[in-house]
Amino acid sequence: MMEILETIERWRGEGQRIAIATVVGVEKSAPRDPGAALAVNERGDVAGSVSGGCVESAVYEEAQDAIVSGRARLVTYGISDADAISVGLTCGGTIHVFVERLDW
């Protein structure tokens, strides 16, 4: 989270509406630990990462919706061990991400 604070402050100074997505829990294997965060502004600019992989685009869409709707949500993304192995990963895992619009 700390690595994106400067960017968030800059966006706020520009008057941009912003949503932030934060990893709040993981099960099994996960690319990022709880506390990892991704911020999105209403222009579509992105800072940070919650997974470094295919989940990023889904979280981006959730963040864009949160900017417009103001609705916070907890979203979960995961893959089974069997599916993970079939695409070359060593094991499956799940991440829980809290997405919210920043209203401060």
Residue 64 CB coordination number (10 Å): 16
Domain that holds residue 16: 2-102
Strand partners, 74: 98
Q: Give the residue among 14, 5, 30, 22 at the shortest CA–CA distance from 72.
A: 22
User: pTM value?
Assistant: 0.87
Cβ-contact 92, 78 below 8 angstroms? yes
The total of structural domains in the chain comes to 1
Per-residue model confidence as pLDDT tens digits over 14-48 = 999 999 999 999 998 788 899 999 999 999 999 99
The answer, yes or no, to whether residue 82 has pLDDT greater than 70, is no
Report CA Rg, the chain.
Answer: 14
Q: Give the residue among 87, 8, 26, 22 at the shortest CA–CA distance from 54.
A: 87
